[in-house]
A = this chain, B = another copy of it.
């Protein structure tokens, strides 16, 4: 029995290749995590187990897809970054996004019991994530994107830390705390924490203040003293990266360890010491690996 009579329906599939030589950021977000974090009794303002679970799942995604050069997570969101030279799945948008969302979800669900041994999953309330791809045409703008997420992390964490301290330690109602924080700036919140509760925000854990950065680890380099453009290295014309070279790089990347860091990614230092992230060229493997 031939299937040709119906096969014309395949013509309705539309191509969705992403523009070559641009950074691809796939950002995923927890669906309904506000409600979910209540249901599973996440701790406020930050639940360390939930963040560690996010990071563990993200690390598996990084290991599974060596074309990813960096990822950044905060709260229930994670941004995965493909290098401009990546040709994975011919850069088809839906394929890239769904592969990341599904792989992440699979590990998140699988690892749940490890991080929440006493809060078992109860269907139909299973965590899930949506995602989308965004293109960034230059390294400068990609870094601004990363900075945007980390600044957002800081703003939200300072607010949440202050709010929940006022509620949990200060015995204020949610509405009272919200009301008082309306219109305050960072220094106001720092002061509330310090004067009323003796909390120095700077001493809060880095994972809460900075979010989580995942990347492959190689030997760190000295930070540059003279600023020069890394643009040209980063956005190499495809033609100049042969298939063979891409495959070789892919193998080398698989050998590197994926690390989870909680550091400043806004300043140049992070990027200068880890030039492989931007260049796409694997660095020198550490002996420890």
| Minimal beta-carbon separation of A56 from chain B (angstroms) | 10
Q: Are B15 and A17 in contact (CB under 8 A)?
A: yes
Chain B residue nearest to A96 in the complex (CB): B130
Contact with B along A22-61 (1 / 0, CB 8 A): 1000001001000000000000000000000000000010
Shortest CB distance A112–B (Å): 9
Number of chain A residues close to chain B: CB under 8 A? 76
Task: Determine whether A138 belongs to the interface, using a CB cutoff of 8 Å to chain B.
Answer: yes
Query: A165 on the interface (CB 8 Å rule)?
Result: no
Chain B contacts for A12, CB-based, 8 A: 19-21, 134-136, 141, 145
Contact A123 B110 (CB under 8 A): yes
Question: Apart from A9-B145, A21-B141, A140-B235, what are 20 other A-B pairs with CB-CB below 8 Å?
Answer: A3-B155, A5-B239, A15-B15, A19-B135, A22-B137, A31-B99, A31-B102, A31-B103, A60-B123, A84-B137, A94-B130, A97-B97, A97-B98, A102-B131, A103-B128, A106-B128, A109-B110, A138-B235, A141-B237, A144-B237
| 6 cross-chain pairs, A with B, having the tightest CB-CB distances, nearest first | A6-B148, A137-B137, A8-B239, A102-B128, A106-B126, A109-B109
